[in-house]
Amino acid sequence: MNLKELSQHLGLSQTTVSRALNGYPEVSEKTREKVLKTAQAMNYSPNARAQGLATGRAKAIGHVLPVSDQHEMVNPIFGDFIAGAGVTYAKHGYEVVISLVEDSKEEAAYQSIKARGNVDGIIVHGPRMADRRIELLHNLKLPFVVHGRASEVNTPYSYLDTNNSRAFQRATDFLLDLGHRKIGLINGLEFMDFAHRRRMGYEQALNNRGIAIDPGLMRSAEMTEIFGYTATSDMLASDTPPTAFIAASMITAIGVRRAIHERGLEMGRDVSVITHDDDLSYLKNGHDVPIFTATRSSVRTAGARLAEMLLQLIDEPGQGPLTELMEAELIIGSSTAPAPT
Amino acid sequence: MNLKELSQHLGLSQTTVSRALNGYPEVSEKTREKVLKTAQAMNYSPNARAQGLATGRAKAIGHVLPVSDQHEMVNPIFGDFIAGAGVTYAKHGYEVVISLVEDSKEEAAYQSIKARGNVDGIIVHGPRMADRRIELLHNLKLPFVVHGRASEVNTPYSYLDTNNSRAFQRATDFLLDLGHRKIGLINGLEFMDFAHRRRMGYEQALNNRGIAIDPGLMRSAEMTEIFGYTATSDMLASDTPPTAFIAASMITAIGVRRAIHERGLEMGRDVSVITHDDDLSYLKNGHDVPIFTATRSSVRTAGARLAEMLLQLIDEPGQGPLTELMEAELIIGSSTAPAPT
DNA sequence: TTGAAAGCGGTACCAA
DNA sequence: TTGGTACCGCTTTCAA
């Protein structure tokens, strides 16, 4: 069923039918009604490719997932992000196109995306501190927004980020207030901008109290369970082990917990832990202790918001960069305690 | 830069340039070489929409994520699945199009996807036991493959699934061999096919030994941490608490562990736990105890394989349904122990 | 081996 | 208010 067939069936021209379908004013109400009803009845949907060709708009947004040889992990929040963004897209009739791009072929990939012309804009995920994509997209004049920031990039760009440094500074402060002086930081890969900012926040809190920063208390790697386990075991084995930990991901924190337990220590008494967690109501019962930054539902919210920003950029080009910073919610539960004396 | 400009620049017809680019034989080697070189130099990429219109093939695969009002969770493995599938797609020049579809509007959505014509095939995620999508897609004559199965559907279809019932039967057997008689099952939502099959496996193992199935030992809900915690606390509070648990997701298992610990019990001594886990090498060190079914890397593998199946179906239509069953790897670590006497 | 021209399925300008 | 027609960028048949 295409426009031609539909219009023949109606005894009208393609032009009129198209106008009726797309809500143009110069169609009589009677005609429009008939067209709409018949289209519905005959299950007509316009061919997206033809429509795109004719209008020059793809009605689709690209999400690029970098695939690296070195660390082949996919951003674990990607699914939730897409779910949030998808709701916004659906509302505006947009679709999501995903391209997996090898780190090394990024430049060519973006050019080709632009040339292929099947997206109107792009969302950049997982920015590194010095992320080349931003300048690249800027030069290509392809509308884009970034989920996160890239500290070392000077080109202006639109983004939405969580205030990661502030969140980690507050978490560290909280532990310092409880008397902890040796606080372990189990961080993600620090060439990722969010992980870098988290460390900055941690260090800032220590600096503010004149506490020397001890590299032996900081670990940075891909955020797996085994990493959390190893890093924690390691630090706990030292002569002067940390009395508290800040763990930068839920999965990593599983390893942290296990390492603590394996050593015969008790969380929330011998060792305090602050980490992300998933379900806020759960935590409010006092069972645990999150920095509430990247829970699944907040990621969905971020996705929806960022999608709106991008659509706005597409609709009204030439706007100044749009930026937004979300504060993380910090809720403390029972797995923190004053430092043992 | 489009074909017209490129061909004018070369002093050739669009036809010849197109043929050279697409590897048709009736072009002289000299011409082809020149065309290829110039195209590369001028950063030419064909417009995907125009190409699609002309060829009738979209070179894209649709992934549909059902969004329900009742349980708004996104399949947590979706990101990894896409990563795996994406590699296959990229190799064949395909792209991924994602549509979020409301449960209630499924029928219309699939028809529209078909009519819009921007995908050549579809991957169905998270099948429920009686999943209407399968018959729908079958009738629409849109090639599709299913990640998982739908036990109550009779229409034949192509799928790739993990042998979930067998995995859970083996896990249960293992615990029974250790002398456990009260084994708690922390399961996902059982209208989902995979969760249903897991329960079947669990029940089968008990039946084989003539052990009565106790509904009080089975819990089914969305697989969150809080669910794992509540279900476990609950069962442990009974007069005759279970001595072992099988937990159907990594996240849920966090809650299980916490509930056990909170009760002053020790995992791998007082209570045994079998669950999924993420990193095989980790587990081989004897630290823990997974049923190795849905780790991130195995999901990627499944994605890649399923994508290949679909592309094959698209290339050679009229093939009988393709089916594949993956056995789960079962590895036992230190968090299981003989039943306390 | 090359090129002209007719589509693919829509949109949008111009004329009626 | 409606219809004819050119065009979006590419592929493909047919003729040269």
Candidates B75, B107, B118: best to mutate against A (most CBs of A within 10 A) is: B118
Contact between the CB of B2 and strand D at under 7 Å: yes
Q: What type of residue is B313?
A: L
The answer to whether the beta carbon of residue A54 comes closer than 7 angstroms to any atom of strand C is yes
Q: From the list A47, A65, A87, which residue is nearest B116 (CB)? A: A47
Q: What is the per-residue DSSP string for A311-338?
A: HHHHHSTTPPPPEEEEPPEE---TT--P
Average pLDDT of the residues in A262-282:
73
Q: Measure the CA–CA gap between B37 and B40, rounded to whole angstroms.
A: 5
Mean pLDDT (whole number) for A73-100: 85
Share of residues in chain B with pLDDT > 70 (%): 90
A4, A14 Cβ separation under 8 angstroms: yes
Structure tokens at B9: 């620049």
Q: Is the CB of A14 under 7 A from strand C?
A: yes
Nearest to B185 by CA among B216, B208, B217, B214: B217
CA of B100: which chain A residue's CA is closest? A86
Where does chain B have alpha helices with state H?
Answer: 3-10, 14-21, 29-41, 48-55, 78-92, 106-116, 132-140, 164-177, 193-208, 225-236, 250-262, 280-284, 296-315
pLDDT at A337: 82
Distance, Å, B99 CA → D9 C1': 26
A93 against A295, higher pLDDT: A93
Would the CB atoms of A229 and B282 count as touching at under 8 Å?
A: yes
How much is the average pLDDT of A71-77? 65
In the predicted structure, residue B18 carries a pLDDT above the cut 70: yes
* pLDDT band for position A33 (cuts 50, 70, 90): very high
Convert the pLDDT of each residue in A156-186 to its tens digit: 999 999 999 998 999 999 999 999 999 999 9
Of A136, A135, A129, A130, nearest to A110 by C-alpha is A136
| Residue A18: CB less than 7 A from any atom in strand D | no
Structure tokens at B276: 């999924």
Verify whether the Cβ–Cβ distance B45 to A116 is below 8 Å. yes
- pLDDT for A285: 43
The pLDDT tens digits of the residues spanning B208-247 come to 999 999 999 999 998 888 899 899 999 999 999 999 999 9
The pLDDT value given to residue B283: 43
Residues 6+ apart with CB under 8 A from B271: B236, B242, B243, B244, B245, B260, B265
CB-CB contact of B132 with B162 (8 Å): no
> Is the C-beta atom of B59 closer than 7 angstroms to strand D?
no
Token readout for B16 is 């010849």
Q: Is the pTM of this model over 0.85?
A: yes
Q: Is the CB of B4 under 7 A from strand D?
A: yes
A5/D2 CA-to-C1' distance in Å: 18
DSSP 8-class letter at A124: E
CA angle centred on A77, ends B286 and A167, rounded to 5°: 95
Half-sphere exposure of B32 (CA within 13 A, CB side): 11
> Which residues are B128's β-sheet partners?
B192
CB contact under 8 A, A95 and B96: no
Considering all nucleic acid strands, name the nucleotide whose C1' atom is nearest to the C-alpha of residue A7: D3
Judge contact between B244 and B271, C-beta under 8 A: yes
Nearest 5°: the CA angle A208, A211, A216 is: 125
Is the model's pLDDT at A207 over the cut of 80? yes
DSSP code of residue B217? G
Which nucleotide lies nearest residue B32, CA to C1'? C1
Q: How far is A211 from chain B (nearest CA, A)?
A: 33
Beta carbons of A225 and A252 less than 8 angstroms apart: yes
pLDDT at A99: 84
How far apart CA A245 and CA A200 sit, in angstroms, is 16
Q: What is the mean pLDDT of residues A107-124?
A: 90
Q: Calculate the angstrom distance between C1' of D5 and CA of A90.
A: 34
Mean pLDDT of chain A: 87
pLDDT over 90 (residue B184): yes
Q: Which of residues 17-56 of B touch strand C (CB under 7 A)?
A: 19, 25-29, 31, 50, 53-54, 56
List C-alpha distances in Å: A234 to A18, A184, A206, A284.
68, 11, 22, 31
Contact B242, B217 (CB under 8 A): yes
Alpha-carbon distance of B322 to A180, in angstroms, equals 59
* Residue-range domains of chain B with CATH: 60-162+300-326 (3.40.50.2300), 164-297 (3.40.50.2300)
Q: Is residue A297 over pLDDT 50?
A: yes
Higher pLDDT, A238 or B72: A238
Whether residue A129 has pLDDT greater than 80: yes
Q: Contact, B264 vs B204, CB < 8 A?
A: no
SS3 A238: coil
Kindly report, residue by residue over B303-314, the tens digit of the pLDDT: 999 999 999 999
Chain A hits for B281, CB-CB cut-off 8 Å, are: 226
Could you tell me the pLDDT band of residue B332, with boundaries at 50, 70 and 90?
low
Q: B81-98, pLDDT tens digit by residue?
A: 998 998 899 889 899 998
Any strand D atom closer than 7 Å to B333 CB: no
pLDDT of residue B73: 60
Q: Strand B121-124 relative to strand B95-102: parallel, antiparallel, unpaired?
A: unpaired
Residues 39-58 of A with CB under 7 A from strand D: 50, 53-54, 56
Q: Do residue B278 and residue A58 have CB atoms under 8 angstroms apart?
A: no
The number of beta carbons lying within 10 Å of the beta carbon of residue A189 is 16
Q: Both tokens of residue B227?
A: 């669910």
Q: Across the beta sheet with A218-220, what order do the strands follow? A: A218-220, A183-187, A244-247, A272-275
- Measured from the CB, is A2 under 7 Å from any atom of strand C? yes
Nearest-CA neighbor of A256 among A279, A275, A240, A282?
Answer: A275
Antiparallel, parallel or unpaired: β B95-102 and A95-102: antiparallel
Burial B124-151 (b: 16+ CB within 10 A, else e): bbbbbbebebbebbeebebbbbbbbbbe
- Report the gap between the CA of B211 and the closest CA in chain A (Å): 33
Distance CA B333, CA B272 (A): 10
Q: Which of A45, A52, A278 sits opposite B112 (nearest CB)?
A: A45
Q: Which residue is nearest to nucleotide D7 (CA to C1')?
A: A54
Range ranked top by mean pLDDT from A60-69, A131-140, A203-212: A203-212
User: CA separation (Å) from B307 to A240, B85, B94, B150, B228?
Assistant: 52, 5, 10, 19, 33
What is the token pair recorded at A117? 């012309």
Looking at the predicted structure, is the pLDDT value of residue B162 above 50? Answer: yes
Hey, are the CB atoms on A98 and B99 less than 8 Å from each other?
no
Choose the weakest-confidence range: A324-333, B121-130, B300-309, B330-339: B330-339
- Other beta carbons within 10 angstroms of residue A320's beta carbon come to 7
Radius of gyration of chain A (CA): 26
What is the average per-residue pLDDT within A240-261?
87
Q: What is the pLDDT of residue A248?
A: 85
